[in-house]
Amino acid sequence: MANETTGSERVRPFDAANYLRTPKRQAAYLAAALETEDEAYIKQALLTLARAQGMSVTARAAKVSRQGLYKSLSATSDPRLSTFLSVVQALGFQLTVQDTGAIGKA
């Protein structure tokens, strides 16, 4: 078969950060994560983007330590809004609000 491996081939785990090299791709990735409204997925997306741009660079721009950035975006964390906003800004993005038409329909 054409897909068999010989045992000498190495398969690297998929890392989305390797494919998020342009600001356009990064913005689309973050927008898609935010649309899910899934907190864990949004934190994972921010972590992936921070790795794509460089953890040390992102941490410095967000005014947190590299370790603090990892901790804030870990699966078990509940980052403060100020941390979330500083990371988004450090990554070069801004959040905007759009009317969904749901106001007053509850």
Interval 48-76: pLDDT, tens: 999 999 999 999 999 999 999 999 999 99
pTM: 0.81
pLDDT band for position 12 (cuts 50, 70, 90): confident
SS3 string of the chain?
Answer: CCCCCCCCCCCCCCCHHHHCCCHHHHHHHHHHHHHHCCHHHHHHHHHHHHHHHCHHHHHHHHCCCHHHHHHHCCCCCCCCHHHHHHHHHHCCCCCCCCCCCCCCCC
Segment 74-85 shows an average pLDDT of 93
Q: Has residue 6 got a pLDDT over 80?
A: no
Contact, 19 vs 25, CB < 8 A?
yes
